[in-house]
Copies of this chain bind each other. A is one copy, B any other.
């Protein structure tokens, strides 16, 4: 198949393309506004009017893009998860690939370096944590929201698990527990450290989350890995 087949004849596709791009920008601005409003006022406190207004649009523009506040919330979660996974993927491949086969388990200090680097690229810990806590509670209380929330969380964990599994296999080790179970363990530790940093009123939550996570994660990963030949 020639690549030319995928290119629209000159000029023809411009108007729909512009429309699509404009629509995408509107959605992005609504999502940005929603992030600000949700994390500041909570799900119940943030009205659709306030979100539309913050983004510089009308209520009508909101509803032509999202059916409800919950739908917007799911779109926002998906966008943020996507962005985080992309960043993690880049850093994993940049950091882990050059290690090659070490012929043994990487030392905790080594694992520590990788986790520290990967974690230093998690933006907006405070806002993200508040938004997630809020959304999780809504899902825990609302059986209509719960399945979709759980599916989004599990999809994130599965992608991250595959990424982590690929990374450790490239280094010549494997986990002694299911990669998904381990991923859950890491994600839970991270979430819990985020919450604790916020509760403690830490001025630099990002740094204190890193410090907390470093107390357990490297040893945890080290203890739960073994060489591919069962060392």
A residues lining the B interface (CB < 8 Å) = 42, 44, 129-130, 133-134, 136-137, 139-141, 143, 146-147, 149-150, 153, 176-178, 181, 184-185, 188-189, 191-192, 195-196, 198-201, 215-216, 219-220, 223-224
For A196, the chain B residues whose CB sits under 8 A away are 150
Partner of A147, one of B140, B188, B201: B201
The copy count of this chain in the complex is 2
- Which of A42, A150, A181, A223 counts the most chain B CB atoms within 10 A? A223
Contact A181 B130 (CB under 8 A): no
Partner of A195, one of B140, B185, B198: B140
Partner of A176, one of B44, B134, B185, B223: B223
Q: Which residue of B lies closest to A194 (CB)?
A: B140
Nearest CB on B from A223, distance (A): 4
Q: Which residue of B lies closest to A149 (CB)?
A: B199
For A130, the chain B residues whose CB sits under 8 A away are 140-141
For A139, the chain B residues whose CB sits under 8 A away are 199
Partner of A223, one of B134, B216, B223: B223
Contact A185 B181 (CB under 8 A): no
Contact A178 B215 (CB under 8 A): yes
For A177, the chain B residues whose CB sits under 8 A away are 215-216, 219-220
Further pairs besides A134-B137, A146-B198: 9, Cβ < 8 Å: A130-B141, A133-B136, A136-B195, A137-B137, A140-B198, A146-B200, A147-B200, A185-B216, A185-B220
- In the complex, A141 Cα to B46 Cα: how many Å? 14
Q: Known A130-B140, A137-B133, A140-B133; judge A146-B178 contact (CB<8 A).
A: no
- In the complex, A143 Cα to B129 Cα: how many Å? 15
Nearest CB on B from A132, distance (A): 10
Nearest CB on B from A208, distance (A): 13
For A134, the chain B residues whose CB sits under 8 A away are 137
